[in-house]
């Protein structure tokens, strides 16, 4: 059995690009443009996984295609790739409900739980790996194993078809996610109404949700707080202080292909700061946080909006 050294070197280089170069280029640009941040431990894990993946990929091309050894190594590479993607998308995070991704911009902070995607990749690649495992046995014993589903198939071909169907399913899922995301609109009304009577001051935030995508926005839980940033009179209304919040969380589900208009969140101002608000101008900070289950992925988002305030 001839060892293919030239192919081993070529595919080792390609694997290094796939496992290390491309991920770290993506990390660099995502952090440079303040889209996502990645912890040092996560980067270290990617390096370890990447080095192991490169070694396995080199071994994968050590033997000719039509040998049992080639198929066994392909089985190992495919399963390892599934584990690698499983980790990338937060699958190895059993102590928390969220995955590994944190999006951080001046206005928005988001945690994305992508475990469904992790399981889809792992499942599809395990099916693909079973194809190579059966082919390795067939080549070793020079015998075809067959399965009958209405008509007879080679067992390896059966797993190959399953793998293709799984890949098509994942591609379709991502396609529907992109389509649905592009057809989702959340509109926060520009004007914030307030209701003032002596001893009580409430703000009303109004928003619309236009969900023309394929997936419902399920189990939405929304909370809001209001803080001061700067004021004209810090003794009457202190800077950088929480002055009110929504006493009750807003909860709803926004179904697919629907528009939900004029939804209200009412924030009650702490009585300690009412007198200062009705006599002092300043800049306020509205903090909105919500969590939801979208396309079976958990999402938690915090949004901060600066709002100028002119007392009544």
Please give the Cα distance from 120 to 194 (Å, whole number).
Answer: 48
Same domain assignment for residues 99 and 35: yes
Beta bridge partners of 222: 250, 290
165 and 79 share a domain? yes
Helix ranges, 142-270 (H): 155-182
**175 and 38 share a domain?**
yes
Give the count of domains, the chain. Answer: 2
Residue ending a domain, choose from 136, 154, 182: 182
- Domain boundary residue among 182, 200, 233? 182
For 223-277, how does the pLDDT look when each residue is reduced to its tens digit (9 = 90+)?
A: 999 999 999 999 889 999 999 999 888 888 999 999 999 999 999 999 999 989 9
Do 273 and 305 have their domain in common?
A: yes
- Determine phi and psi for 105, rounding to 5 degrees: -130, 170
Residue at a domain's end among 161, 182, 203: 182
DSSP β-bridge partners for residue 309: 282
Same domain for 177 and 251, yes or no, is no
> Are residues 190 and 170 located together in one domain of the fold?
no
> Which pTM value belongs to this model?
0.68
**Average pLDDT over all residues of the chain:** 83
The DSSP output letter for 115 is: H
Domain that includes residue 209, residue range: 185-309
Query: What pLDDT score was predicted for residue 99?
Result: 47
CB 1 within 8 A of CB 67: yes
Instruction: With a cut of 90, say whether residue 210 has pLDDT above it.
Output: yes
- In the prediction, which pLDDT does 229 show? 93
Could you count the other beta carbons within 10 Å of the beta carbon of residue 240? 11
| pLDDT greater than 50 at residue 137 | yes
Q: Judge if 194 and 173 occupy the same domain.
A: no
Q: How far apart are CA 147 and CA 59, in angstroms?
A: 31
Residues 53 and 163 placed together within one structural domain of the fold? yes
CATH of the domain at 264: 2.60.40.10
One domain for residues 34 and 132:
yes
pLDDT in tens, 108-126: 777 777 778 888 888 888 8
Q: Which two tokens stand for residue 70?
A: 């080639």
Bridge partners, residue 301, by sequence: 110, 290
Are residues 113 and 152 located together in one domain of the fold?
A: yes
Give backbone dihedrals phi and psi of 233, rounded to 5 degrees, phi first.
-140, 95
Structure tokens, 68 = 């049992």
Are the beta carbons of 268 and 292 closer than 8 angstroms?
no
Whether residues 206 and 220 fall in one domain: yes
Same domain, 148 and 58: yes
Which of 75-89, 119-133, 161-175, 227-241 is most confident?
A: 227-241
Backbone angles phi, psi at 127, to 5 degrees: -60, -45
């Amino acid at each position: 059995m001839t060892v293919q050294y030239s192919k081993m070197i070529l595919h080792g280089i390609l694997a290094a690009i796939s496992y290390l170069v491309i991920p770290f280029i993506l990390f660099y640009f995502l952090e440079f443009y303040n889209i996502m941040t990645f912890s040092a431990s996560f980067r270290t894990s990617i390096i370890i996984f990447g080095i192991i993946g490169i070694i396995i990929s080199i071994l994968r091309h050590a033997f000719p295609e039509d040998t049992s050894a080639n198929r066994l190594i392909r089985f190992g590479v495919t399963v390892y790739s599934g584990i690698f993607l499983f980790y990338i998308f937060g699958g190895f995070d059993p102590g928390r409900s969220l995955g590994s991704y944190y999006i951080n911009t001046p206005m928005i902070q988001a945690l994305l739980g992508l475990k469904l995607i992790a399981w889809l990749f792992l499942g599809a690649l395990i099916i693909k790996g079973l194809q190579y495992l059966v082919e390795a046995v067939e080549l070793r014993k020079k015998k075809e194993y067959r399965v009958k589903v209405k008509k007879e198939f080679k067992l390896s071909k059966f797993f190959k078809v399953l793998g293709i169907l799984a890949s098509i399913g994942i591609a379709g899922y991502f396609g529907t996610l992109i389509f649905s995301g592009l057809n989702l609109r959340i509109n926060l009304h520009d004007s914030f109404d307030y209701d003032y009577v002596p001893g009580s001051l409430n703000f009303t935030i109004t928003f619309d949700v236009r969900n023309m995508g394929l997936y419902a926005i399920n189990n939405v839980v929304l909370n809001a707080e209001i803080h001061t940033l700067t004021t004209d009179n810090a003794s009457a209304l202190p800077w950088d202080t929480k002055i009110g919040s929504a006493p009750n969380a807003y909860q709803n589900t926004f179904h697919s292909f629907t528009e939900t208009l004029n939804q209200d969140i009412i924030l009650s101002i702490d009585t300690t700061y009412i007198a200062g608000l009705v006599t002092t101008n300043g800049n306020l900070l509205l903090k909105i946080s919500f969590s939801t289950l979208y396309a079976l992925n958990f999402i938690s988002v915090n949004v901060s909006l600066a709002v100028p305030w002119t007392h009544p």
